[in-house]
Amino acid sequence: MGATPTAAVLDAGNLQQLLDILQKQNYQTVGPTVRDNAVVYEHIQSVEDLPRGWTDEQTNGRYRLTHGKGKKFFGYVHGPNSWKKFLYPPARQLYAADRMKHRFDVVAPEPSGIKPALIGVRACELAAIMVQDRVLMDGEYIDPEYKARRQNAVIVAVNCTRAGGTCFCASMNTGPRVQEGYDILLTEVVDSHGHYFTVETASEKGRAIAAQLATSPASEEQLAAARQAVDKAARQMGRTLDLTDLKDSLYRGFDSIHWEKVAGRCLTCGNCTMVCPTCFCVNVEDTTALTGEQAFRIRRWDSCFTVDFSYIHGGSIRATDYSRYRQWLLHKLAYWQDQFGVVGCVGCGRCITWCPVGIDITEEARAVKG
DSSP 116-171: EEEEEE-HHHHHHHHHHHHHHTSSSS--HHHHHHHHH-EEEEE--SS--TT--HHH
Rounded Cα gap, residues 143 and 159, in angstroms: 29
359 interacts with ligand SF4 by CB under 6 A: yes
User: Measured from the CB of residue 343, what is the shortest distance to ligand SF4 in angstroms?
Assistant: 9
Identity of the residue, 218 or 351, whose beta carbon is nearer to ligand SF4 in the bound complex? 351
Whichever of 19 and 275 has its CB closer to ligand SF4, that residue is 275
Q: Please state the closest distance from residue 317 (CB atom) to ligand SF4, in A.
A: 18
**Nearest distance in Å: CB 122, ligand SF4:** 11
Smallest Cα–Cα separation from 264: which of 331, 357, 363? 357
Q: Is the dihedral of CA 200, 205, 209, 211 positive or negative?
A: positive
Residue 272 in the binding site for ligand SF4 (CB under 6 A): yes
| Percent composition of the chain: helix, strand, coil (DSSP 3-state, to 5) | 35, 25, 40
Sheet holding 294-301, edge to edge: 104-107, 91-99, 294-301, 282-288
Contact code string over 337-356 relative to ligand SF4, x by CB under 6 A: --------xxxxxxx---xx
Could you tell me the smallest distance in angstroms from the CB atom of residue 331 to ligand SF4? 10
Burial class from Cβ neighbours inside 10 Å (0-12, 13-18, 19+) for residue 166 reads buried
Of 226 and 355, which CB lies nearer to ligand SF4 in the complex structure? Answer: 355
> In angstroms, what is the minimal distance from the CB of 130 to ligand SF4?
12
Is residue 165 within 8 A of residue 348, CB to CB? The reply is no
Q: What minimum distance in Å lies between the beta carbon of 353 and ligand SF4?
A: 9
Going 151 to 153 to 156 to 158, the CA torsion angle's sign is negative
> Which residues 248-267 are close enough to bind ligand SF4 by CB under 6 A?
266-267
Whichever of 332 and 369 has its CB closer to ligand SF4, that residue is 332
Closer residue to ligand SF4 (CB): 94 or 269: 269
Which residue lies nearer to ligand SF4 by CB, 12 or 266? 266
Span near ligand SF4 by CB under 6 A; candidates 3-11, 26-34, 293-301, 357-365: 357-365
* Minimum CB–partner distance for residue 282 and ligand SF4 (Å): 16
**What is the contact surface with ligand SF4 in residues (CB under 6 A)?**
266-272, 275-278, 305, 332, 345-351, 355-357, 359, 361
